[in-house]
Structures are given as structure tokens and as C-alpha cells.
Amino acid sequence: MITVANAGNNSRLLDIHNLGINFHTDEGLVRAVDKINLSIRPGEIMGLVGESGSGKSVTAKSIMRLTPGHAVIDAESQIELQHQNQTLDVLQLRNRDLNLVRGGRVSMIFQEPMASFAPAIRIGDQIVETMQIHLGLEREQARRKGIELFERVGIPFAAKRFDQYVFELSGGMRQRAMIAMALSTNPKLLIADEPTTALDVTIQAQVLDLMLELREQLGMAMLFITHDLGVISKIADNVTVMQKGQAVETGVAEQVLFHPRHPYTQKLLDALPHIDQLPPEPVEKPEPLVSIDKLAIRYPLAGSGMKRTEYFTAVSELSLKLPKGQIIGLVGESGSGKTSLGKSLLGAAPISSGRVNFHGDNPISFNHPKQIKRKALAKIAQLVFQDPYASLNPRMTVRDIIAEPLEAMKLTSSREETDQRVIDIARRCHIEISHLRRFPHAFSGGQRQRISIARALVCNPQFIVADEAVAALDVSIQAEILALLKQLKKELGITILFISHDLSVVANLCDHVCVMKQGQLIEQGSVRQIFTRPQQAYTRKLIGAIPLLEKRDAAANNIHQADAIPA
Amino acid sequence: MTSLIARFRGKQQTSQESYYTAGQFALIRSRFARKTSGVIAGWILGTLVLLGLFAPFFSPSDPSIRGADTSYQRGAPQIIKFKDENGFSWRPFTYTYSKPDSGFDLSSLAAGGSLDALDALTSSGALDASEQNRYEIDRNQRRYIQFFVEGWEYSVLSIESLDIDIRWNLHLFGVENGQIHLMGTDEDGKDVFSRTLHAIWVTISIAVVALIVKLLVSLLVGGVSGYFGGRVDAILMSFTEAVRVIPSIPVYLACAVMLAGLELTPTQRYFAIAVVIGALDFAALGRRLRTHILTERNQDYVLAAQLSGASTGRIIWRHLVPSFSSYIIVDTLINFPYVILAETSLSFLGLGLTEPVNSLGVLLQKAQDPDIQQNMVWQFFPVVVFVALIMAFVFVGDALRDAADPYSEQNK
């Protein structure tokens, strides 16, 4: 454990001493945070990095005493916050005084802006209410200030947006509005819990720039929580790396990211995808396994009532050939239609025109969902889901989950044969055989995703759609799953359509890349071609926005690093 | 799990592993066990249900008019003692109670029949309600309680169609001479304690029948509505809402009138009531099941099953039904008291079961008689049992609801 040695307490905004938190769970007492020491000075951006379950979010929440009910904070823990020349110990405050801290002195931004606004109250009213309570402003005054803030965080038509509801804004705008709300009370510390994780890369880059800019203008400190080291390298002055509730390494960002001292930090860095190691150009072009012919997918809007005249076009007139035995990356921002395209290949999205042809041993062709012989299609094409939690039935054992396609389609003649095939595929996917008796609640995200992959592969399909299959996973787990997919491609010769918003992952995994924008295929080619010679401006923009681990312009940050923590 | 996988079982079964391999119901049980109030209520509930189920065995007297104790009508509860001025006894006992001689010669009334004689009888106070409750206790004549005694005969198992009727006459306790009345007797001399035990079972079995009918109707309406959605859903739900707005008491009244015209035996009558209560009460549960299925069928794992080639039937039985089975169990338990209340309120209004049937509703209705309230407070015993039963159901249901969805916090 590393304790930050420091001179002079008066320069600190926040001081966390020996913070320890236990969770009472079904599995017994879990040590979520173990004697963390952390301090943030005014104007500093502290990055808090760690994989899921490392305790970073709980640490942040404890600053506002927002820890969940089953969490117990150690008695000797201290969280000291400077407030008008006096030191508040947050953990000792009475509930009434906590409002000084919550939303006043300290504000918070969450990962899901949609979930953090009340859906039935106008955004502006929520911000006005906050300012009325904390700053004692009049309604009109607060409203003027709120609109100013909206302009400041770069929301166009601020006055109009101010009176809209949260569902009327796009993801990036929602997060900007959330930031505006967090800033409305002039906090000295902003806690940002994975604020850009749910956003597209280009939006993420904009939001990060905005946060850096606001720090310059307002001089507030930030505790920036993320699992993404690339994001950290862009934004943080200092970094604390957490593992299993402990702070394993603390220091200046450059130092930690480029000269890590702790093996865990090193491991995290090694697991990062690098786009500079692209595979060579393939020599021969394989036969297509799937060809998509002028496919269009439309969803009816406003689903209630008898008349369904309006449609949302997710994919329009798209033609594409997927080469056999390759991993094809399908990239694009949210709303580009990539998921609809992937699902339509499995017969799970409404095809309004066009045709999907599966070549190979058992050719199948369909141009309408009703035409699909579902069982025949299920034998050759399967899906790996994004969310490893929702996609496994929590009431079935792992064995039953993996055996589902075999049993549902009656592909085996006896229970023994089913078990044998389940065991074979589990071995291939590195699932311990003894775990087959367990229920999904025993597993972490990565292990669940292995189960999901095993279920998809158990009936020997030729083609798999992996829809954001690693998006919900930690980097080190992500690397393992990517390696597994590569290995399975090699061993089984399957074709994988890998849908992702993360270009760095695609660069690592795929042989071929297709870029989609607003329902259309705008560019495709080999990975090397796309990443080294992108033809379209949009592709260049996507690649440019990848938050890569890179050394920053020293001048921009030296103000905050000049008096950095001595190592 | 079959032998093939069984071979791979590790030898060590740690507590961690048992959590990992715990199914839905095992998880619910372990969470329920942590709720002290629920566990205590569970034990009380279990005891009451067992007492009701084996009511004839636990009852010292026949609760029907056949078993009425004519020598101890309107009698107060008989206190069980171990010790009095005559000494201590390991075997608990009560005393012999006898009617005091009113000192009035009834034969003169019978012989002469004059108004004077009648006047004398009235003024003697022997006819006063409070006077009739008075019994003389002979402290020297102890009646020792005996266990596993033979007494009135009852049927353990009776299936008419198969001509099976197993009868038994063993009882948990009783006294040698005469009868024992732990909670006193009513105006006919029927044992209040025995009547109450029998009433528990009648009331619970009505509730069970009502809940099964309700469950079937709600499953049908809610399940079809939720799974198919669209127009089917719209039509079924408007029908449900229509049923829901009909006030229940007038419907019960109408049913009671109808049932009265059908010349039913008390048993048939009570099943008819149960069916009516159940069938009219499906709206709330049906709607909730529909909502549950609507959300559940859009879950990724249902799509995963569809993409695995599973048929609609398989998705419903393997995936959807288990997802709300715990929910149904909890909902049923929580609703138990309401159904019991419905039965009791019907009987209370005189629409449901009536004397001489033993049901909690009948006994509760009886307890509103001013005569009982003034002179026979021991007939409030069924009220106490009723309150205990309802409270036990409420607490168990509450604890189960909290424990029920072990997956509610998994994603967090």
C-alpha cells in the first residue's frame, strides 16, 4: 500500500484516511475497500482506475455518504473536506449537514445520464431546484444562470433545451446537461463516475475536452473514475490504481502510465489494445459465407393503436459480403444500425426489403422474418450478447444454459451425449467442468461471457454474431475473451461478425472492418487498410477519437503537476 | 445432474460452493431464514395450520351438536391446574363442574302450570343469562387429564367414490369422566376450543380453493395477455378492468341468493363460495402477471432461447414460468389473509356459511351477539385465533416478498 506523503494539510481539498468499507452480501462479509488513503488538492484531477469490483465507485460514493445500505464503513475511517477554512469530517456529519456536502461542496456525475435525471420533470426545473436549495437563488435568477451554464457546456439552443425532458436529448447532450447540473452549485470537487463510458468515442472526446476546459475556467478539482486507461491518460493529473479494494499505486499520471511500478498496473497496461500492431494484409480473399443483398430494416414508430404508418429506418439498402473464416468488425456510433444489421442476420430484426443469403453446407436464404426456418437458422448462426448478466437465465445451471440449443432443437439422442458435448465445448471455452453445476450468480462478467460463447458454439454453427461482446468487461478480461474468440476462429473455422463501438478492440481482433453510419455502409476493407488509409472523413474522425494511451502536451498540464506528489 | 458431470464434482463442498450451486429456492430459503419476524410468524402459522389439519385429533370433543355437553352449557373455560389446597399432582387436572340447584321445584310448574308458578320461576333468577353461566366447582373431585385417549370417532380419510372411510377415535388429550372444555362451551354445550380448531381448517381450505381458482384464471388471462401482447392484450385487459370495477359485495349478495335457491349441502355451498371469491378476484394478479411477462419476455435470455431454436412452449415453460413462480408463491401467501377476510366478511354478513358449520367467519359472526359479549367472553377465542392467523400470514408473506427475488440485486 502506498501512502501519500505530503507537506501541509491546508493545501488539500479532500483527504481520505484509512477508508475501509465492508459489504454484507449473500456470500458473507466482503471487504470492498481496504484502508484507502487519497487526497485531492484544489484544481487537481485525480484519476481513480481499477477493474469492476475494485471498490472505486464505493470509495467515491462514500465521500458523499451515498454508500448502499449493506455497506459498513470502518469506525476509524476519516473523510475530511475543507469548507470555508474549516475541516468537515464527512463521516461524522449529521444528516442535515450533509446537504452542505452533497450537491453543494461536492457534485457528482454518473455513468448513465438517462438514469440520473428524473424522466418526468423538465431538465431545467431540476437544475433550478438544485440552485434554489443550495444557492438560495430566486427562480428567475436560477433559470438565467442555468441557461448560461447550458451554453457554457456547449449545448446548442440552450434556452430551448433547458425546457426539454431528458429523453428528448441525445446521449452526449444528456451528459452535458448532467455536467451543467453538477456545476450549478459551484462545487469545489466534482466526482465523475465513468462519465464517458456510455458515450460514443467522438462524443467521449468532446466531453473530456469540455471537462478539461471547465477545470481551467473554474478551477475545481475532480475525482475521475474510469476503467479506461486511455481516458485517464487524456484527463488526469494524478492517478490512483485500485485493485480488490486497495490502492496499489498512486502518482503522477505520466509516471504511473508509462513507468508503472506495481505489477497490477503493468498488467492493466499490457491488456490495453494497441492499434499500432495491425495484422498484415491477407494474401487471398476467401469465399463469402453470408451475402447481404440490399437489406433494409424498418421499425414502426409509436407502436400503439391500429395505424402504424411511420417507420424508423435503421438500415437502408445495405449490401455486404462476409468472408468465410474471418472475424469481421462492424463499427459505427450508437444509432448507426449495426445491431439491427447483426440481429437481422439471425432473424431477430424486421427485414422490410432485401435478402440475406447463407452459403456453405446448408444454404439458407430469406427476405422476411416469417420465411425463416428458425431451427435451421439456429443451427448455423448464433448470437453472443453484450450483457453477460441479462442474457443468461439466472434460474438455470450453467450446464442447462449451454445445453439449451441442443435440447431445444433435439440435436442429441441421449442425455449422456448432450453432457459430453457440453463438456467438450466448456473445455474449449476454458470453463471449469466442475462449474457446470453452478448457477450464473456465481460468476463474474468475463466468466459469464464465456458461458454465453459456449452456448452459441455448442451446436457447431458456422457463423456467430458477437454484439458488443466485450463492451461490458474489464480490460484484462476483455483481452482474455478476445484471445478466446481468435482461438475459436482458428480451431473451428467459424466466421464471426464482431459488432463494436470500440475501434481499438476491432483493430486487435478483426481481419476485415465495415464502417456504418446512419444505416449505411460507408467504408469497408482489411483492418490494415481501414486503420492506415481510411478513405472517408467519418472513419478518420472515429479513429482519431480513440482515447489512446499517449503522452500529453506537457505544457498543458504542467501547472498542476509542478507541485506533484513526491514519489 | 447426470453421472457424467457428477464424476467431475469436487470433493470439498465449501459453503461458498453451496451458494454457487444454490438454486432459486435455496437462495430464497437462506434469505428468508435471516428474517427473524418472518421465521417466528412462520412457526406460528405452521402450528395453526397443523392444528387445523389434524383438528379432530387435537380436539377433545366433537364440535357438532352430537358432541355437545348438555351438562355444561354456557360454561366458562376450565382452568388446568397442577396444584391446589389438596396437594400437588404431576398429572394436570380440572375439577368437576355441576349445575347448582336453583332451589325451584320444576315439577310444580309441570303439574300445576299456574301463572304463579311461572312468576316464581322468573323471579328466582334461575333464568337470568348470568345465572345460567354459574356452575359449582367441586374441588375434591379432580378430573385428571389423560393423553392419547380414545373418544369420539372421526374419519381420517374418506373418499366416497372409492368407498374408503378410515375412522379413528384417538385424541391427544381428554378426561376420564365427562368432557374437558379448555375455552368453555357455547349455549348448546359445544366445546369452543374444538370448534375453533375445526374452523381453522374450513377457513383455510376455502382460501386454498379460492386462491387456486384465482391463480388459474389470472395465469390464463395474464399469461395470454402478456405473451401475445398487441390486440389480444388490449381486449383481455379491458375485460379485466371491467370485472375489476364491479363492486364485490353486491356480486356476493347476488351469488348468495342464487346459491340459496340451489339446495346445496354446506360443503357444496362453501366450495361454491370459494369459486366465486376466486373467480372475481383475478383482476389484480392477472394484470401484474401480464406486466411481469411483458418485461420478462423482452429480456436478453428469452431472445437467447429463441435464437437457440426453442419453441414457444419451451420458452414459456422453461424460461418464463420459473421466472415468476416465486412471485406467484409470494403473492398467493400475501393474499391469503384477504381471501380469509372475504370469507369471514361474507359469513359475517350471513351470506356465506352459517351455523352449525364451523368456520372462523361463522364463529366471528356469533361473537357479535350481545349475550356473548356480556356473559360468554370466552367465545372470543376464535377472534384471537383469527387475528393470530392473519398476522402470521402477513408477516410470512412480507418476509417472503423481501426474500423472493434473489436476482433482484444481482446486476448491481
**ω into residue B356 within 30 of 0, thus cis?**
yes
**Residue B128: per-residue pLDDT:** 64
Going from the C-alpha of A60 to that of each of A16, A25, A108, A236, B20, the distances in angstroms are 10, 20, 9, 16, 30
Which segments of A161-285 are extended strands (E)?
A: 189-193, 221-226, 238-243, 246-252
- Contact between residue A215 and residue A222 where contact means Cβ atoms under 8 Å apart: yes
The residues, any chain, with a CB within 8 Å of residue B173's CB and separated by 6 or more, are B60, B145, B146, B147, B148, B149, B180
CA atoms within 13 A of residue A287's CA, in its CB half-sphere: 7
d(CA A15, CA A35): 13
- Contact between residue A199 and residue A113 where contact means Cβ atoms under 8 Å apart: no
Query: Residues of B with CB below 8 A from A423's CB?
Result: 4-5, 8
Q: Does A410 touch chain B (CB under 8 A)?
A: no
- Contact between residue B372 and residue B183 where contact means Cβ atoms under 8 Å apart: no
Cell 481510411 appears where? A534
d(CA B298, CA A451): 20
DSSP A322: E
Min Cα distance B299 → chain A (Å) is 7
d(CA B103, CA B121): 10
What's the burial of A9, exposed, middle or buried (CB within 10 Å: 0-12/13-18/19+)? exposed
Going from the C-alpha of A78 to that of each of A17, A62, A65, A95, the distances in angstroms are 5, 10, 12, 16
**Residue A515: per-residue pLDDT:** 92
Indicate the pairing of strand A78-83 with strand A14-25: antiparallel
d(CA A36, CA A74): 11
Residue A12 sits at the vertex; the CA angle it makes with A8 and A14, to the nearest 5 degrees, is: 140
What's the burial of B146, exposed, middle or buried (CB within 10 Å: 0-12/13-18/19+)? middle
d(CA B217, CA B229): 17
Strands of the sheet with A512-517, listed across from one edge: A381-384, A463-467, A495-500, A327-331, A512-517, A520-526
d(CA A236, CA A82): 22
Sign of CA dihedral A528, A461, A407, B229: positive
d(CA B395, CA B329): 14
d(CA A114, CA B199): 55
d(CA A525, CA A527): 6
Domain ranges for chain B, please list them. Answer: 58-183, 197-404
Q: How many residue pairs bridge chain A and chain B with CB atoms within 8 Å of each other?
A: 115
Given A27, A405, A439, which is nearest B23 (Cβ)? A439
| Model confidence, pTM | 0.71
Q: Quick one: which of A150, A132, A153, A157 has its CA closest to A142?
A: A132
Q: What tens-digit pLDDT sequence spans chain A (567 residues)?
A: 333 434 444 578 888 888 888 888 766 788 888 888 888 988 899 999 888 778 888 888 888 888 877 788 888 888 888 877 778 888 888 888 888 788 788 888 887 778 888 888 999 999 999 888 888 889 999 999 999 888 888 888 888 889 988 888 877 788 889 888 988 888 888 999 888 877 778 888 888 888 898 888 888 899 999 888 888 888 899 999 998 888 889 999 888 888 888 998 888 888 777 776 677 776 677 888 888 888 888 877 654 455 556 777 888 888 888 888 889 999 988 778 888 898 888 888 888 888 888 887 778 888 776 777 778 888 888 999 888 888 888 888 889 999 999 988 888 888 899 999 999 999 888 888 888 888 887 787 888 888 999 999 898 888 999 988 888 777 778 888 888 898 888 888 899 999 988 888 888 888 899 999 888 899 988 888 888 888 888 888 888 887 777 665 543 444 444 344 443
CATH of A288-544, one of 3.50.50.60, 3.30.479.30, 3.40.50.300, 1.10.645.10: 3.40.50.300
Query: Residues of A with CB below 8 A from B303's CB?
Result: 348, 383, 385, 391
Residue B285, beta-bridge partner list:
none
Domain ranges for chain A, please list them. Answer: 11-271, 288-544
Query: Residues of B with CB below 8 A from A23's CB?
Result: none
| Cβ–Cβ below 8 Å for A391 and B10 | no
Q: Quick one: which of A273, A277, A241 has its CA closest to A256?
A: A241
**Residue A1: per-residue pLDDT:** 35
What is the grid cell recorded at A489?
476462429
According to CATH, the superfamily of the domain at B197-404 is: MetI-like (1.10.3720.10)
CATH class of the structural domain A11-271:
alpha beta
Residue A365, beta-bridge partner list:
A357
Length of chain A (residues):
567
Which segments of A474-549 are extended strands (E)?
A: 495-500, 512-517, 520-526
SS3 A108: strand
SS3 A189: strand
H or E segment and range at residue B95:
strand B87-98
Query: Which residues of chain B have a pLDDT value below 50?
Result: 1-13, 409-412
d(CA B185, CA B193): 8
d(CA A179, CA A189): 12
Identical topology for domains A11-271 and A288-544 = yes
d(CA A433, CA B36): 38
- Give per-residue pLDDT as tens, A239-277: 999 988 888 899 998 888 888 889 988 888 887 777 766
CA atoms within 13 A of residue B400's CA, in its CB half-sphere: 20
- Contact between residue B276 and residue A342 where contact means Cβ atoms under 8 Å apart: no
- Our measurement of the distance from residue A96's CA atom to the centroid of its chain's CA atoms, rounded to an integer in Å, reads 35
| Cβ–Cβ below 8 Å for A393 and B319 | yes
Which chain B residues touch A if contact means CB-CB below 8 Å?
1-2, 4-5, 8-10, 15-16, 19-24, 27, 30-31, 299-301, 303-311, 314, 318-319, 322-323, 406-407, 410-411
Indicate the pairing of strand A45-49 with strand A238-243: parallel
Which segments of B260-349 are extended strands (E)?
A: none
Longest dimension (CA), chain B: 98
Q: Does A438 touch chain B (CB under 8 A)?
A: yes
The residues, any chain, with a CB within 8 Å of residue B34's CB and separated by 6 or more, are B403
Residue B165, beta-bridge partner list:
B158
d(CA B160, CA B199): 22
HEC profile for A161-190? Answer: HHCCCHHHCCHHHHHHHHHHHHHCCCCCEE
**Residue A223: per-residue pLDDT:** 92
Residue A127 sits at the vertex; the CA angle it makes with A123 and A130, to the nearest 5 degrees, is: 145
**Residue A329: per-residue pLDDT:** 92
**Residue B130: per-residue pLDDT:** 63
Query: Residues of A with CB below 8 A from B301's CB?
Result: 390-393
**Residue A550: per-residue pLDDT:** 67
ipTM (interface pTM): 0.73
Query: Residues of B with CB below 8 A from A342's CB?
Result: none
Q: Does A344 touch chain B (CB under 8 A)?
A: no
Cell 445491431 appears where? A339
Given B31, B307, B319, which is nearest A383 (Cβ)? B307
Query: Residues of B with CB below 8 A from A385's CB?
Result: 300, 303-304
Closest chain B residue to A405, measured at CA: B308
Mutation target for B interface from A404, A409, A414, A455: give the one with most B CBs within 10 A: A404
